[in-house]
Amino acid sequence: MTNEMTIEEARQSLRDLERIRARARNRVFAEFASMPLMLWGLIWAFCHLNGYLFLQHGQDLFGRHPDATAPVIVWSGLVVTIVFIIVKLRFFNPVRSEGSWCYRYRAPLLTVVWFVFHAFASELHAFDNGLQMNAYNSMYWMLLFIVYGLWLASGLFLWVGVLVCCWTFLGYQFMPEQYHLLMGFGSGGTLFFGGLYSVIRCRREKSEGPDGPGSGVA
């Protein structure tokens, strides 16, 4: 009696290993991204609702025009997010890939390349108005979410990116007067509750253990 593994058994073992690897990767990535998602959901909601109140009722927050308030909020949130990512990668990264530096940090490097490309390419666009520019930028950054979702097999990032793109297109094409209101509640809510769902799911999976019902691939 031999202990040799058949080709089909070997294939099944490889499939099982890939499923385990995918579950671990999705769990780590979802837990890592939950805080930035919730932060940017609040930022999107605040900035768009501030713009809606000013355009519809002449009201503003903190006594400043939305065009002056939004950059401060956005850049402050960006700094907080970058610091969080650096600290998380440096001190609390449970998975350290083997390989070169570029390979190990290819995910954050993609974000940097995406940002630099947008900074230079945006000079080539001639937008008709601020609404068009806002809609384009929103969908441009959500495309990065979709790319991450497909690349990392993350259902969370994929669906967040698709839903925010849908909210943006719907508001720009059919509800221009309520665009900022829709983006505040729809897009901001999608980002925030996507991050909140990630937190709840990660905590549930930890409590249930690796073989619990919540251990499936996102």
In the chain, the amino acid numbered 211 is: D
Domain presence at residue 98: yes
Q: Is the pLDDT of residue 201 over 90?
A: no
Domain count, the chain: 1
Q: Which two tokens stand for residue 95?
A: 């998975």
Q: Is the pLDDT of residue 53 over 80?
A: yes
Domain presence at residue 22: no
Domain presence at residue 216: no
Distance set, CA 90 to CA 94, 105, 217 (Å)? 10, 11, 26
Q: What is the pLDDT of residue 98?
A: 64
Residues 6+ apart with CB under 8 A from 183: 44, 48, 134, 138, 167, 168, 171
Domain presence at residue 199: yes
Q: What is the pLDDT of residue 61?
A: 62
Domain presence at residue 9: no
Instruction: Determine which of 38-42, 61-65, 133-137, 174-178 has the lowest per-residue pLDDT on average.
Output: 61-65
Mean pLDDT over 96-104 rounds to 65
Q: Contact 43/166 with Cβ under 8 angstroms?
A: no
Q: Is the pLDDT of residue 203 over 70?
A: yes
Q: 96-110, 116-130, 141-155, 186-200: which has the highest mean pLDDT?
A: 186-200
Instruction: Determine which of 7-16, 21-30, 67-76 has the lowest per-residue pLDDT on average.
Output: 21-30
Question: Which pLDDT tens digit goes with each residue over 134-191?
Answer: 999 999 999 999 998 888 778 889 999 999 999 999 999 999 999 999 999 999 999 9
Q: Is the pLDDT of residue 214 over 60?
A: no
Domain presence at residue 123: yes
Q: What is the pLDDT of residue 1?
A: 46
Query: Does the pTM of the predicted model rise above 0.95?
Result: no
Sign of CA dihedral 68, 74, 79, 84: positive
Q: Is the pLDDT of residue 192 over 60?
A: yes
92 versus 107: which is more confidently predicted?
Answer: 107
Mean pLDDT over 37-66 rounds to 82
Q: Contact 156/30 with Cβ under 8 angstroms?
A: yes
Domain presence at residue 8: no
- Angle at CA 197, nearest 5°, toward 92 and 208? 70
Q: Contact 123/156 with Cβ under 8 angstroms?
A: no
Average pLDDT, the chain: 82
Domain that holds residue 42: 28-208
Domain presence at residue 213: no
| Rounded distance between C-alpha atoms, residue 81 and residue 59, angstroms | 29
